[in-house]
Structures are given as C-alpha cells and as structure tokens.
C-alpha cells in the first residue's frame, strides 16, 4: 500500500514538473481576427444608430491605432506620424520581450472602438471571450501585449480628443431658412433636423482643410422649366416613375435598394414610428474592403493596412462633403417635386436628413474605390454580399470604380439626389483620394498580390 502511495506521489510530481516546464506557444493572430473585430464594431454601430459621418470616425481611429502598432514590427509599413494632422509617434514598448504586436494591435483596436460607441457591454463581452482564449495559450504574452496596447490607447485618445468632435456636440442645431425656396427643408416621414451641421469643423486627417476640395456650386435654383435646375428635378421625377413601372428592365429599383445605406429610415405603423437599422455608406465600403482582403488572401498586416488606408479616405471624404452640404444648403428633390410637380410623388428611398449637394454616397464611394484600386489594382472583380443581412441579394462588380459609379447613380434611382450632386460628388471624392494617396504614397513598401 505504501509503495502504491509513493508511486502515486511520483506521478503527481512528474505531472506538476511537466506542466511547469511546458513551453508556452505564441498567440496566433490572423486576418480573420481583424475581420471579426470590425464585424463586431459594425454590429454595435448599427444597434446604436450612428450617423454616417460619426461612423467614419468610429472606424478610422481604431484602425490607425492598430496600424501604428503593427508597423512598428514590420519594415514593409511606415508610421503615419507626421503624415496625419497632429499625429506623433506612438510610444514604444519599454521591453519588447513577450510583446506580440498583432495581439497588441487587435486589443488597441477593440479598446478604442469601445470608447467610441454607446453599447460598450457588447464589445466587452466579445473581448472577454477572446481574451480568455488568448490567456489559455500564453498568459505572459497576452498580459504584456495588453499592457502595451493600453499605453497606445491612452496616447491615441489624447490625439483623438483634439479633433473638435466634443466641441461640436455643444454647437447649435441647424436653423432651417423658410424664407428662401432654394434652401433645404426637413423631409417626411420623420422631418428630422439636419444632422451634423458642424462636421466641417472636425479636424481632417490628410487634406489641408474641409474646403480644400470645394466643388463647383450646384445649378442655380429656378422654377423655369428650361433651367438646368428644374430639368434635373424633372429628371429625378421621370426616372423614378419609369423604374417603378411594371415591366421595367433597368434594374434601377434593385440598385437603389442595394446602395440605400440609410441608418435613419423611419417606419410608421398606425400611431407608432420606429427606425429600421442599416449600415451606412462608409460601412458598406468597409465591408467591400473585407471582401477584397478575403479574395486576395491578405495576411493580418496587409488587412490592417487596407482597412486603415480606406478608412482615412472615407473619413476625410465625409468632412469634405459635409462642408459643401451646409454651405450650398440645397433643397432635396422630394421637396421640389412635391411642391411644384406632383404632390403625391414619393422617392424609392427615404430622403436622409441633411442638405442635398453634394451626394455623400457619391463622394465616399469615389474616395473608397480609388483607394481600394491603389491597394488591390484595377479590374479587381468581386461579389458584394454586404447587404445580404438585410435581405438584399448579392451584386457582382468588375472593379471598385464600377461599383462606385453604380453607388453614385443609385441616388438618382432612389429619388434623393439630382444629377449634379452625383457627378460632381464622385469626382470630388476621387480627386480628394488622389491627393491622399499621393501624401501617403510611402505608407507601404509592398503591393498586395492577388491570391498569392
């Protein structure tokens, strides 16, 4: 009996010794971890119903934080310090031993994202599950990497907090000019106030100022049937009627619905009004970025790079667009048509709550498409399934630019923009993106090879 007990003690001792001598493996982080983190943030943004411009801010700062950490450990990528307005070099780890830069990048991304949304608990529960699994693999590496990530998060928050966002929260609401018939008026069914009228005061990232890519003015408001403005209003009316007729084969309705991306759609049932929740234009293009990364089989670092560069273009694109929207303050087609052409006409899409010119989706689509083309190349075909969660079928495109052209034209089909806002808007986005790409030309030292 004594011999059996001693043997048992020996076995226990060997097990303990083996566990003590067990070598911890590095935590493996892949591109899918980045995709999943962004998907979680998108899910929360939809739940919290953020405006398109605010969503661009929620995307860009966490992406930059992840990128800056990743770039410290990869000579193929260069820091954005000194290239983005006000951004200085992030702190480096005091001791690089046990720091997993990919783990730190993903933690920084999630922590910063959590600080930018309302429903923090939804991010926290995701983090808890993820962090627990990482601890089981290598607790030392996890804790060391997390500590470093939090240092970077504190640094990034200090930079982020100087972008004037908090100041714009206390600025006055937009005042509707009821005396001038050319000016924007709230539209049905919710008749919401104009959102984010002070977004032009947000600090840009790459462009010099909100007005650097100021577009030409819109056609002058006129009710003369031979005027350019009235002809464009009539075109919206005629196109809307044509594509809703039975037997029409233009695919206009499907295109309009695919690119709707309006988080403010109000639904009225009896005395009850509620909002349906959707992604925004910027979130749709971030979704396209994910599709492109998966098709190109990008690794983690390449994926972070693609998201970051695209998010920067989208962010500055919204600032540029909103600067013009509240300067020209142009009336929407729905209001003009109901007042002067057909009081019973309704657009296919619900008109979003801000002035018309230029088209936000057109600007952002032009900017995002040009940026993605610079990363993945022209004629990069893809199947866009971004809208399938909302019951909308997949659409296929031969290139990012073709997708952007369709996204811009969808605003005409939807009945929410005149032609000038669409055509000038997409040029505005592309021109701005060209400037950004030139400024960030040395962000990466390598090209992403398709299906490498």
pLDDT tens sequence across 280-320: 999 999 999 999 999 999 999 999 999 999 999 999 999 99
How sure is the predictor about 2, in pLDDT bands with cuts at 50, 70 and 90? very low
Q: Are residues 114 and 185 in the same domain?
A: no
Gyration radius of the chain over CA positions: 25
pLDDT of residue 264: 78
In a domain, 450, yes or no: no
Q: Are residues 127 and 256 in the same domain?
A: no
Q: Residue 11 above 60 pLDDT?
A: no
In a domain, 448, yes or no: no
pLDDT of residue 4: 46
In a domain, 6, yes or no: no
CA 303 from centre of chain: 15
pLDDT of residue 199: 98
Q: Are residues 261 and 345 in the same domain?
A: yes
Domain that holds residue 95: 26-166
Q: Residue 385 above 50 pLDDT?
A: yes
Q: Residue 22 above 90 pLDDT?
A: no
How sure is the predictor about 450, in pLDDT bands with cuts at 50, 70 and 90? low
Q: Are residues 45 and 117 in the same domain?
A: yes
Whether the ω angle into residue 189 lies within 30 degrees of 0, i.e. cis, is yes
pLDDT of residue 410: 98
Q: Are residues 371 and 403 in the same domain?
A: yes
pLDDT of residue 17: 39
Q: Are residues 204 and 114 in the same domain?
A: no
How sure is the predictor about 278, in pLDDT bands with cuts at 50, 70 and 90? confident
Q: Are residues 209 and 335 in the same domain?
A: yes
Average of per-residue pLDDT across 63-78: 97
CATH number for 343 = 1.10.606.20
**Domain termination site, one of 128, 147, 166:** 166
Q: Are residues 363 and 242 in the same domain?
A: yes
Identify which has the larger pLDDT, 350 or 13.
350
49: left (phi over 0), alpha (psi -120 to 50) or beta: left
How sure is the predictor about 270, in pLDDT bands with cuts at 50, 70 and 90? low
pLDDT tens sequence across 143-177: 999 999 999 999 999 999 999 999 999 999 999 99
Average of per-residue pLDDT across 11-30: 62
Q: Are residues 162 and 181 in the same domain?
A: no
Rounded to the nearest integer, the mean pLDDT of the chain is 92
Identify which has the larger pLDDT, 432 or 4.
432
Mind spelling out the 3-state secondary structure of the chain?
CHHHHHHHHHHHHHHHHHHHHCCCCCCCCCHHHHHHHHHHHHHHHHHHCCCHHHHHHHHHHHHHHHHHHHHHCCCCECCCCCCCCCCCCCCCCCCCCCCCHHHHHHHHHHHHHHHHCCCHHHHHHHHHHHHHHHHHHHHHHHHHHHHHHHHHHHHHHHHHCCCCHHHHCCCCCCCCCCCCCCECCCCCCCCCCCCCCCHHHCCCCCCCCCCCCCCCCCCCCCCCCCCHHHHHHHHHHHHHHHHCCCCCCCCHHHHHHHCCCCCCCEEEECCEEEECCCCCHHHHHHHHHHHHHHHHCCCHHHHHHHHHHHHHHHHHHHHHHHHHHHHHCECCHHHHHHHHCCCCCCCCCCCCCCCCCCCHHHHHHHHHHHHHHHHHCCCCCEEECCCHHHCCCCEEECCHHHHHHHHHHHHHHCCCCCHHHHHHHHHHHHHHHHHHHHHCCCCECCCCCCCC
Percent of the chain, pLDDT > 70?
A: 92
Average of per-residue pLDDT across 71-83: 97
**Domain termination site, one of 132, 166, 200:** 166
How sure is the predictor about 274, in pLDDT bands with cuts at 50, 70 and 90? low
Q: Are residues 73 and 190 in the same domain?
A: no
Q: Residue 260 above 60 pLDDT?
A: yes
In a domain, 263, yes or no: yes
Average of per-residue pLDDT across 21-25: 66
Look at 168-177, 238-247, 435-444 and tell me which has the smallest mean pLDDT: 238-247
pLDDT of residue 250: 78
In a domain, 140, yes or no: yes
pLDDT of residue 269: 60
In a domain, 19, yes or no: no
Average of per-residue pLDDT across 219-230: 98
In a domain, 444, yes or no: no
Percent of the chain, pLDDT > 90?
A: 87
Identify which has the larger pLDDT, 16 or 272.
272
Split into its structural domains, the chain has a count of 2
**Domain termination site, one of 166, 196, 221:** 166
What burial class does residue 417 get, using C-beta atoms within 10 Å of its C-beta: 0-12 exposed, 13-18 middle, 19+ buried?
A: buried
How sure is the predictor about 449, in pLDDT bands with cuts at 50, 70 and 90? low
pLDDT of residue 445: 82
Q: Are residues 399 and 429 in the same domain?
A: yes
How sure is the predictor about 265, in pLDDT bands with cuts at 50, 70 and 90? confident
Q: Are residues 283 and 203 in the same domain?
A: yes
Average of per-residue pLDDT across 106-128: 97
In a domain, 323, yes or no: yes
pLDDT of residue 51: 95
């Amino acid at each position: 009996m004594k011999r059996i007990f001693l043997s048992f003690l020996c076995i226990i001792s060997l097990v303990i010794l083996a566990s003590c001598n067990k070598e911890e493996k590095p935590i493996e982080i892949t591109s899918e971890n980045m995709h999943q983190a962004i998907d979680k943030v998108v899910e929360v943004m939809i739940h919290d119903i953020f405006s398109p411009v605010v969503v661009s801010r929620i995307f860009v700062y966490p992406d930059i934080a992840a990128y800056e950490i990743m770039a410290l450990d990869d000579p193929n990528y260069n820091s954005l310090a000194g290239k983005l307005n006000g951004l200085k070099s992030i702190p480096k780890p005091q001791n690089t031993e046990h720091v997993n830069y990919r783990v730190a990048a993903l933690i920084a991304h999630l922590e910063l994202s959590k600080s930018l949304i309302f429903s923090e608990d939804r991010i926290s529960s995701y983090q808890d599950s993820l962090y627990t699994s990482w601890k089981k693999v290598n607790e030392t590496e996890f804790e060391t990497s997390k500590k470093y990530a939090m240092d970077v998060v504190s640094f990034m928050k200090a930079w982020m907090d100087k972008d004037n966002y908090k100041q714009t929260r206390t600025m006055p609401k937009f005042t509707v000019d009821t005396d001038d018939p050319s000016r924007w008026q709230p539209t049905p069914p919710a008749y919401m106030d104009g959102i984010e009228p002070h977004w032009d005061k947000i600090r840009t990232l790459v462009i010099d100022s909100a007005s650097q890519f100021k577009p030409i003015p819109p056609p002058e408001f006129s009710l003369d049937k031979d005027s350019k403005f009235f002809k464009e209003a009539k075109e919206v009316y005629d196109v809307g009627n044509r594509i809703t007729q039975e037997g029409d084969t233009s695919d206009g309705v499907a295109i309009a619905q695919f690119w709707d991306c309006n988080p403010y759609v109000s639904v009225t049932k009896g005395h009850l009004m509620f909002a349906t929740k959707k992604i925004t234009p910027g979130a749709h293009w971030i979704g396209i970025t994910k599709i492109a990364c998966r098709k190109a089989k990008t690794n983690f670092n390449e994926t972070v790079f693609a998201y970051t560069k695209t998010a920067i273009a989208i962010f500055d694109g919204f600032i540029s667009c909103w600067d013009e929207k509240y300067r020209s303050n142009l009336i929407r087609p729905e209001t003009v048509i109901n007042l002067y052409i057909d009081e019973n006409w309704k657009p296919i899409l619900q008109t979003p709550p801000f002035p018309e010119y230029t088209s936000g989706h057109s600007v952002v689509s032009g900017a995002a498409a040009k940026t993605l083309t610079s990363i993945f190349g022209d004629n990069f075909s893809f199947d866009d399934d971004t809208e399938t969660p909302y019951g909308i079928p997949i659409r296929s495109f031969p290139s990012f630019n073709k997708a952007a052209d369709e996204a811009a034209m969808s605003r005409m089909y939807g009945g929410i923009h005149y032609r000038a806002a669409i055509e000038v808007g997409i040029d505005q986005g592309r021109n701005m993106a060209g400037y950004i790409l030139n400024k960030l030309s040395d962000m990466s030292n390598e090209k992403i090879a398709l299906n490498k």
